[in-house]
């Protein structure tokens, strides 16, 4: 025996073993085994006594797992082997009958599908809760103006309610993607065996029903090769995490001294060790920082599955760490977003002052000229000229004299001054989906109705 044999055996085990991370699938694994054993007996493939022994043993294993007294051993390659080893130790050789008409290939696909279904539903519930929080916040800040930005330059003012509701629609799309991922995981792989089906007259529909799957994977080769539902869940998670990163980023910007639009609760921030005046928006920064990690997990699994010949290959064991870390990270980010919004205090005075810079009325002034028959391109030039005069002389647009207005265009008589009133810039946006208050109220009703779905 080569003197390298032992370290090599250890390295192989470290590489090959998945029990360290797949042990969290034990609830799904046990549920699958209970349904499988029940079906085997119903079809006369095992006896009722054997079934009873298996179910009693599985209950005991479950008790140990639940209590945390189940001992995973270094030789357990994965959760499936660990459960079967312990079952057989508890009830004797009959434990070996559980794996009749089953392979770890259809078993693991089933466990992961069950996990994805449950997790997609749980994430959906969390997203709905965050949407409800945003709707409440929008309701509480219905008519608080702040500047809307493009290129992070002040563009046009909007109401905070309007801005916050944008996230509600983004999150609703996330819910739809999560629901799609759950539906994709809703077909039972078990019964496919290693890849070709099994040589027993099994009842897959009975197993599906007991496990809560709505349908069967129709092709055994596809059943054990498929991890699309994991990709779907990772994609839904990636987009949702990306949405939260934009929220996090806005909270970072808004809570800076320069903006001062929001004060975050102390429990979601940290102090600086050497600068006592500082309050760092760590949690909001991490909403930004965590998103690419979720996205990367999806990219990595695409890499694992890329060009992989059918059917099962050990590469597919790599699905789990990517899946688990992505959904755990997203769950954490959703909780943080919820908590931060919960404890956030908006400084509506600071926001209104920033939105009151009347250079922001430039678009409205241009629109007014359009309504007076001037072609839009020409209006753009006229208003740009006014903005230049105002900025160069350190004044607001409203501070320009009647003569200066008329000089740019004969259409700019003193009646145009109405557009310089801050509320007019907001209330002029009357198009459906716009920021005028009646439209925001409409939108709020739609958002509330979404929460009921």
245 catalytically annotated: no
Using CB under 6 A as the binding rule, whether residue 84 contacts ligand ARG is answered as no
Structure tokens at 109: 């696909």
CA of 140: how far to CAs of 159, 163, 174, 324, 447, in Å? 11, 13, 24, 36, 14
* Minimum gap (Å) between residue 50 Cβ and ligand ARG: 24
CB 180 to ligand ARG: min, Å? 24
Query: Smallest distance, Å, CB 113 to ligand ARG?
Result: 13
Compute the distance between CA of residue 95 and CA of residue 82 in angstroms, rounded to an integer: 12
C-alpha 362/C-alpha 397 separation (Å) is 8
> Smallest distance, Å, CB 104 to ligand ARG?
4
What is d(CA 267, CA 257) in angstroms, rounded to the nearest whole number? 19
Adjacent-strand bridge partners of 146: 158
Structure tokens at 35: 């349904």
Nearer to ligand ARG, 117 or 439 (CB): 117
- Nearest to residue 350, comparing CAs of 268, 420, 263, 436? 263
Q: Is 220 in the site for ligand ARG (CB under 6 A)?
A: no
Q: Which stretch, 49-57, 247-255, 308-316, 381-389, contacts ligand ARG (CB under 6 A)?
A: 308-316
Binding mask 105-144 for ligand ARG (x = CB under 6 A): x--x------------------------------------
Residue closer to ligand ARG, measured from CB, 316 or 340: 316
Is position 104 an interface residue for ligand ARG (rule: CB under 6 A)?
A: yes
Of the candidates 19, 12, 21, which has an alpha carbon nearest to the alpha carbon of residue 325?
Answer: 21
Q: Does 312 bind ligand ARG (CB under 6 A)?
A: yes
- Of 65-73, 103-111, 140-148, 270-278, the window that binds ligand ARG (rule: CB under 6 A) is 103-111
Give the nearest distance from C-beta 62 to ligand ARG in angstroms: 20
Beta strand 215-216 pairing with 279-280 = unpaired
242 touches 291 (CB < 8 A): yes
Query: Which residues, numbered 22-61, are part of the site for ligand ARG (CB under 6 A)?
Result: 22
Residues in 59-78 at the binding interface with ligand ARG, rule: CB under 6 A? 78
Residue 307: CB minimum distance to ligand ARG, A: 18
DSSP 282-330: HHHHHHHHHHHHHHHHHHHHHHHHTTPPSS--GGGGGHHHHHHHHHHHH
Piece of 31-39, 310-318, 324-332, 383-391 that binds ligand ARG (CB under 6 A): 310-318
* Catalytic residue selected from 151, 199, 306, 431: 151
Residue 272 appears among annotated catalytic residues: yes
Catalytic residue among 47, 214, 270, 272: 272
Shortest separation between residue 38's beta carbon and ligand ARG, angstroms: 22
* Alpha helix stretches (DSSP H) within 141-214: 160-184, 204-211
CA angle 50, 51, 54 (to 5 degrees): 90
Question: Segment contacting ligand ARG (CB under 6 A): 91-99, 101-109, 298-306, 327-335?
Answer: 101-109
Please count the residues of this chain forming the interface with ligand ARG, following the rule CB under 6 A.
10
Q: Which residues are bridge partners to 187 per DSSP?
A: 215
Contacting residue, 45, 116, 207, 316, with ligand ARG by CB under 6 A: 316
Of 313-321, 380-388, 390-398, 439-447: span binding ligand ARG (CB under 6 A): 313-321
Question: Residue 86: helix, strand or coil by DSSP?
Answer: helix
Euclidean distance between CA atoms 124 and 373, whole angstroms: 50
Q: How far apart are the two ends of the chain, measured CA to CA in Å?
A: 66
Q: Hey, which residues are catalytic here?
A: 151, 272
Residues that bind ligand ARG (CB under 6 A): 18, 22, 78, 104-105, 108, 312, 314, 316-317
């Amino acid at each position: 025996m080569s003197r390298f044999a032992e370290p090599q055996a250890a390295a192989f085990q470290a590489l090959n073993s998945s029990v360290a991370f797949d042990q969290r699938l034990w609830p799904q694994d046990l549920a699958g085994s209970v349904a499988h054993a029940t079906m085997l007996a119903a079809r006369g493939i095992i006896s009722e006594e054997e079934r009873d022994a298996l179910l009693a043993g599985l209950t005991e294993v479950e008790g140990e797992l639940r209590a945390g007294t189940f001992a995973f051993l270094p030789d357990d390659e994965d959760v499936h082997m660990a459960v079967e080893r312990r079952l057989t130790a508890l009830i004797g050789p009959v434990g070996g009958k559980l794996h009749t008409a089953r392979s770890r290939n259809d078993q693991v696909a089933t466990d992961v599908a069950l996990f994805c279904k449950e997790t997609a539903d749980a994430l959906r519930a969390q997203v709905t809760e965050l949407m409800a929080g945003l709707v409440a916040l929008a309701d509480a800040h219905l008519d608080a103006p702040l500047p809307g930005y493009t290129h992070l330059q002040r563009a046009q003012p909007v109401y905070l309610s309007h801005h916050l509701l944008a996230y509600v629609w983004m999150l609703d799309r996330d819910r739809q993607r999560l629901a799609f991922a759950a539906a994709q995981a809703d077909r039972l792989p078990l019964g496919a065996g290693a890849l070709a089906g099994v040589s027993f007259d099994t009842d897959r529909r009975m197993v599906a029903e007991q496990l809560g799957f709505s349908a069967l994977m129709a092709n055994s080769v596809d059943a054990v090769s498929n991890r699309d539902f994991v990709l779907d869940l990772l994609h839904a998670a990636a987009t949702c995490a990306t949405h939260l990163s934009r929220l996090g980023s806005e909270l970072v910007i808004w809570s800076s001294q320069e903006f001062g639009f929001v004060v975050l609760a102390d429990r979601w921030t940290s102090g600086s060790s050497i600068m006592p005046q500082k309050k760092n928006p760590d949690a909001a920064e991490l909403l930004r920082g965590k998103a690419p990690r979720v996205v990367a997990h999806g990219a990595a699994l695409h890499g694992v599955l890329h060009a992989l010949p059918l059917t099962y290959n050990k590469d597919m064991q790599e699905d789990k760490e990517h899946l688990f870390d992505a959904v755990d990270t997203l769950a954490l980010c959703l909780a943080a977003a919820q908590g931060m919004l919960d404890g956030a205090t908006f400084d509506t005075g600071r926001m209104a002052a920033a939105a009151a810079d009347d250079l922001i009325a430039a678009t409205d002034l241009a629109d007014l000229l359009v309504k007076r028959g001037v072609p839009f391109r020409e209006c753009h030039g006229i208003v740009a000229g006014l903005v230049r005069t105002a900025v160069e002389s350190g004044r607001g647009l409203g501070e320009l004299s009647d003569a200066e207005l008329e000089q740019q265009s004969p259409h700019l008589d003193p009646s145009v001054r109405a557009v310089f009133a801050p509320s007019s810039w907001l209330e002029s946006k009357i198009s459906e989906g716009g920021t005028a208050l009646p439209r925001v109220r409409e939108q709020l009703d739609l958002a509330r109705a979404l929460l009921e779905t």
